[in-house]
Structure 1
Amino acid sequence: MLPGFALILALLGGCAVGPDFVRPEPAVPASYTRDGDTARTAPGDGVSQSFLEGATLPADWWRMFGSAALDGAMTRALAGNPTLQAAQANLRQSEAAMRAGAGVFYPQLDAAAGATRQAASPVRFGQAGPGTVFNLFSLSATVSYTLDLFGLNRRTVEALSAQVDLQRQTLGAAYLALTGNLVNTVVAQAGYAAQIQSTTELAALVREQVEITRAQVQAGTTAHASELSLAVQLAALEATLPALRQKLEQADHLEATLSGQYPAEGEPVAVTLETLRLPADIPRLLPAELVRRRPDVLLAEAQLHIASAEVGVATAAMFPAITLSAGYGRESLEIGTLLGGGSAVWSLGAGLTAPLFHGGELYYRRQAALAQMEAAQAGYRQVVLAAFGQVADALRALEHDGELVEATRHGRDLAHEALQEILANFQGGTAGYLQVLVADAQFHQADIGYLQARTQRLQDTVALFLALGGGWDASAEYPNSRSGLPHRDGAIQPMSSSDSASYPAITSNSSSSIALCRSL
């Protein structure tokens, strides 16, 4: 009978009630967009962006823009951003909490020593007489171990382990937000600076037109309405400059704070649109791979894992708990005889605690955990849908950006050609200077539209990189959380074998134990 009882205990020792977490495998479409994903965009400004199907974005994807100044700004931001540092610290905290929680898998051993002076009265034993004063010296050690029969401890540590995954993906989301915001900010700085320069030159041209037209009005050769029309145009142009300068300054301030600096300390990144290279070959993950690369999807998966483990915790709390304990020690009236014979004390026992009636508390805690798991499942599906929506938006945006850049470049080239002809006519005496100013103003207006289209194309490229996960390597167990994430080669450092070996296993001990618990 004893062997059979031992077998049952062995099976129960590997039993963990509640659902076993299964990583979601969402059924995703074969393409991101309804009409299928194109292999390349329309050529814009002589560059057609090609999509490399199934390729993986590098962790240091910003280097694809070919700007050493941008690379330097990113290095400073990764080293000094407080949000990233907080996420790194939270990851270390969750790892420490998980290792602390895993201590329940081992016996708890404690030691105690004491020396007391006591006065004992015989009255409490029903005898008369004077009391006795004596010294009592003690030395003892105790060991206790909780049998995890129904997996309460394992499910608890499973939840803590999933919390580590959640913090790791929170770090990934912070990394993604930082790198994306910084690159977008630098692109915006370059775009605003170029627009300010072109708008300032355009305003100077219109101002000169106003002055020439005013002189013609005073000479009686031109109607006053022509002067007013140009003055209105000049006022509108001058009104755009303060807003552009404000946006540029805000971008400068944001770039400084992203790098962990005060706005007064930061130096704007020396980048222009001409020094930013548009990536021509863009890695595009397969749709099935997207859910394994985006930190927000992996974070939602970790939340689902936590919710699943919490159902197990709530279920296991409804079952008995058994604790084994043993103790050995010495007690003596004199310290000199504490280690001598006849002073030994010992204990050996087992305790069982079983919930009988808690007013429905345990039942409804489990119902709450089940509802939370359903909410996490729905939340995961929503995050996946949003991720695919962002990729689809970014892909379509790049397709239209190529067309827009090409159209604005063509308009700019036509305006430049018209300006050259007017200049030739002016030099030949067949066109007036005012006509030159008008043609030059038209060229600058076309140039502003072209600059805006180029800036938008760069930012939409960044948006696609972020939508595809921003190079975050979900298979890397542990990024270097103390000195910035990417190293010089852009790789993210995995957890060392010594670190991973210190984690106790949270899996069931045998297939038999899994089958035994399946119905609980």
Structure 2
Amino acid sequence: MNNNILKLTGALLAAGLLSACSLAPTFERPSAPVASAFPANPPAADSKGGPGAGAKDAVDTGWREFFADQRLQQLIATALDNNRDLRTAALRIEEARAAYNITRADRLPNLNAGLSGTLARTPGFQNPATGQPTIGEQFNAGLSIPAFELDFFGRVRSLSEAALATYLSTDEARQAAQISLVAEVAKAYFTERAYAEQLALAQRTYEARRRTYELTRQRVDVGASSLLDLRSNETLMETARASALALARQRAQAENALTLLVGAPPAQAASGNMADDAQIDAMSSVPEGLPSDLIARRPDIRAAEQRLRAANANIGAARAAFFPRISLTAAIGSASPAFSQLFDSGNDTWSFTPQLTLPIFDAGRNRANLNLAEVRKNIAVVDYERTIQTAFREVADALAARSYLADQVAAQRAIQDAQAERLRLLTLRFENGVASTLDVLDAQRELFSAEQQLVQARLLRTTSAIDLYRALGGGLKQ
């Protein structure tokens, strides 16, 4: 009899494992709701921001290759080790993997071994023959399969597939978090360097204006200059001082933001310079490819697709709830009133309990669960499409910036050179008594503003190149 029950149990288990069907809808990736090509942004004249011949794709360009600054490379490496958001993303992967392993285990039967002993006293009135109470012993040992569901309609399988897709989406989300972290560290670093450059410029300007103010005051004392000239010089001097103080504050805050991203205090004082034009040209030379490439390049899009797959699989589990659920419980073992005779011949026991549960009335619970699963899939479809549209816009914006920012920097540099030459000529005219002090002061103010705006334009072009690198999926490779 034991052989028969084992054969029957094995046959049912095999049937449950091999013949399960899935009621989940056939997964179809939604078409990308974007144009087949990025918007054409004609570069302005003499633009140097376009991709160079033979440039590597962003996904194939490691961040150490993309960022030539060694100081920045050290900061990115430290951030990848210490950033708390990235650590949380990695722990989410472990959480999703554990949840998937739990769900996957439900597709296989549990096998339990048990050993028990019972000591019981029976009162005398239950023993008419002797009228005396008795004490009995019972020992049991065996193997059991508790309530294993035969997944004929794929309910457990669908739940397992949904858990797997959730796990994969979590892994993709961690990769997307790494790409964003690399880009944000780089942008924070260059922002801090830009503030440092502007601060140094403001401090030099302040020192120059302070010397001019002192000289003007001496001229006023001897009657060679007017009080109006003195107050005008004082205004420019204090303006430069106020700018320097504001830039010192902004630089300190930018350094704090960089420290937060890195996840640890900097190992050394901030150093290094902003990227020069040649470095920015190299960073801007990433080819954009086609919008369809983003689906393979961007982890956030792949994560959205996995979430859509999970929602699709959950529909299969919800549909399976309308069908009968078949489970079985089986056990084999041995029982004896004496522990020493527990495994003697003739003490064998077995049990086999198949169970079929057919939902008849559940007050609409199953229907509501199916509607919920379908709505969540529709939400996942919208989320997937929105993720693609967002990625498309990020790339298009970065490409538009690349098309024009190089010429904007060149134009701003021309303005600075023109203002510097204007100041030089007015200074000569002032020394020859042709130009007034106010003309020279106005030229100094305009030159300082042009110098500050040039630093800002260079920073904007740098961060735009970083945004394009991130938008195209760069930052995973080292």
Shorter-chain TM-score above 0.5: yes
2:59 counterpart SS class = coil
Q: Do 2:44 and 2:403's aligned partners in 1 also have CA atoms closer than 8 Å?
A: yes
Tell me the equivalent position of 2:69: 67
Aligned equivalents of 1:315, 1:248: Cα separation in 2: 59
Match of 1:257 among 239, 260, 264: 260
Residue 198 and residue 12 in structure 1: after superposition, are their counterparts in 2 closer, same or farther (change >3 A)? same
Q: Do 1:206 and 1:441's aligned partners in 2 also have CA atoms closer than 8 Å?
A: no
2:309 counterpart SS class = helix
Between Structure 1 and Structure 2, how many residues are aligned? 459
1:29 matches 2:30: no
Aligned equivalents of 2:416, 2:57: Cα separation in 1: 36
Tell me the equivalent position of 1:19: 25
Match of 2:182 among 159, 179, 183: 179
1:105 counterpart SS class = coil
Match of 1:111 among 106, 110, 113: 113
Q: Do 2:324 and 2:358's aligned partners in 1 also have CA atoms closer than 8 Å?
A: yes
Tell me the equivalent position of 2:249: 246
More moved, 379-388 vs 22-31:
22-31
Match of 1:155 among 139, 158, 161: 158
Aligned equivalents of 2:261, 2:76: Cα separation in 1: 9
Residue 225 and residue 102 in structure 1: after superposition, are their counterparts in 2 closer, same or farther (change >3 A)? same
More moved, 109-118 vs 228-237:
228-237
Tell me the equivalent position of 1:271: 272
Gaps in structure 2 of 5+ consecutive residues: 1-11
Q: Do 2:34 and 2:392's aligned partners in 1 also have CA atoms closer than 8 Å?
A: no
Aligned equivalents of 1:382, 1:218: Cα separation in 2: 70
Once the 2 structures are TM-superposed, how far is the Cα of residue 219 of structure 1 from its aligned partner? Answer: 5.0
Match of 1:329 among 328, 333, 339: 333
The 5-angstrom pairing of residues 51-450 of structure 1 reads 55-58=57-60, 60-61=62-63, 63-121=65-123, 129-143=131-145, 145-218=148-221, 220=223, 222-262=225-265, 267-273=268-274, 277-280=279-282, 281-418=285-422, 442-450=446-454
Aligned equivalents of 2:303, 2:152: Cα separation in 1: 31
Aligned equivalents of 2:428, 2:368: Cα separation in 1: 87
Aligned equivalents of 2:108, 2:74: Cα separation in 1: 48
- What's the Cα RMSD here? 3.2
Once the 2 structures are TM-superposed, how far is the Cα of residue 77 of structure 1 from its aligned partner? Answer: 1.2
Residue 433 and residue 124 in structure 1: after superposition, are their counterparts in 2 closer, same or farther (change >3 A)? farther
Deviations 1:362-391 (A, max 9, x none): 111211221121122122222222221221
Aligned equivalents of 2:19, 2:457: Cα separation in 1: 65
Once the 2 structures are TM-superposed, how far is the Cα of residue 303 of structure 1 from its aligned partner? Answer: 2.2
Once the 2 structures are TM-superposed, how far is the Cα of residue 64 of structure 1 from its aligned partner? Answer: 2.0
More moved, 219-228 vs 160-169:
219-228
Letter matched to residue 142 of structure 2 = S
Q: Do 2:49 and 2:402's aligned partners in 1 also have CA atoms closer than 8 Å?
A: no
Once the 2 structures are TM-superposed, how far is the Cα of residue 292 of structure 1 from its aligned partner? Answer: 2.5
Once the 2 structures are TM-superposed, how far is the Cα of residue 452 of structure 1 from its aligned partner? Answer: 1.4
Aligned equivalents of 1:422, 1:113: Cα separation in 2: 103
Letter matched to residue 93 of structure 1 = E
Letter matched to residue 108 of structure 1 = N
Residue 99 and residue 148 in structure 1: after superposition, are their counterparts in 2 closer, same or farther (change >3 A)? same
Q: Do 2:182 and 2:475's aligned partners in 1 also have CA atoms closer than 8 Å?
A: no
Letter matched to residue 74 of structure 2 = G
Residue 165 and residue 25 in structure 1: after superposition, are their counterparts in 2 closer, same or farther (change >3 A)? farther
Q: Do 1:65 and 1:278's aligned partners in 2 also have CA atoms closer than 8 Å?
A: no
2:264 counterpart SS class = coil
Once the 2 structures are TM-superposed, how far is the Cα of residue 327 of structure 1 from its aligned partner? Answer: 1.4
Q: Do 2:16 and 2:151's aligned partners in 1 also have CA atoms closer than 8 Å?
A: no
Once the 2 structures are TM-superposed, how far is the Cα of residue 123 of structure 1 from its aligned partner? Answer: 5.7
The 5-angstrom pairing of residues 442-461 of structure 1 reads 442-461=446-465
2:374 counterpart SS class = helix
Residue 209 and residue 352 in structure 1: after superposition, are their counterparts in 2 closer, same or farther (change >3 A)? same
Structure number having the greater helix percentage: 2
Q: Do 1:196 and 1:241's aligned partners in 2 also have CA atoms closer than 8 Å?
A: yes
2:111 counterpart SS class = strand
Aligned equivalents of 2:424, 2:219: Cα separation in 1: 25
Aligned equivalents of 1:268, 1:43: Cα separation in 2: 38
Q: Do 2:34 and 2:389's aligned partners in 1 also have CA atoms closer than 8 Å?
A: no
Q: After the TM superposition, which parts of structure 1 deviate over 6 Å for at least 4 consecutive aligned residues?
A: 9-12, 51-54, 124-128, 422-426, 428-438
Q: Do 1:291 and 1:384's aligned partners in 2 also have CA atoms closer than 8 Å?
A: yes
Tell me the equivalent position of 2:9: none
Letter matched to residue 304 of structure 1 = L
Aligned equivalents of 2:124, 2:317: Cα separation in 1: 50
Once the 2 structures are TM-superposed, how far is the Cα of residue 242 of structure 1 from its aligned partner? Answer: 2.2
Letter matched to residue 297 of structure 2 = R
Aligned equivalents of 1:422, 1:126: Cα separation in 2: 130
Q: Do 1:54 and 1:284's aligned partners in 2 also have CA atoms closer than 8 Å?
A: no
Residue 30 and residue 172 in structure 1: after superposition, are their counterparts in 2 closer, same or farther (change >3 A)? same
Gaps in structure 1 of 5+ consecutive residues: 1-5, 473-485, 491-520
Letter matched to residue 409 of structure 1 = R
Once the 2 structures are TM-superposed, how far is the Cα of residue 163 of structure 1 from its aligned partner? Answer: 0.9
Aligned equivalents of 1:258, 1:76: Cα separation in 2: 10
Aligned equivalents of 1:170, 1:239: Cα separation in 2: 44
Letter matched to residue 74 of structure 1 = I
2:286 counterpart SS class = strand
Once the 2 structures are TM-superposed, how far is the Cα of residue 461 of structure 1 from its aligned partner? Answer: 0.8
Q: Do 2:233 and 2:441's aligned partners in 1 also have CA atoms closer than 8 Å?
A: no
Q: Do 1:253 and 1:266's aligned partners in 2 also have CA atoms closer than 8 Å?
A: no
Letter matched to residue 179 of structure 2 = L
Question: Percentage identity across aligned positions?
Answer: 26
Aligned equivalents of 1:320, 1:247: Cα separation in 2: 67
Letter matched to residue 284 of structure 1 = E
1:49 matches 2:50: yes
Deviations 1:247-299 (A, max 9, x none): 2111212222222215xx65344220256821432131311111332232222
Letter matched to residue 213 of structure 2 = V
Q: Do 1:206 and 1:437's aligned partners in 2 also have CA atoms closer than 8 Å?
A: no
More moved, 295-304 vs 168-177:
295-304
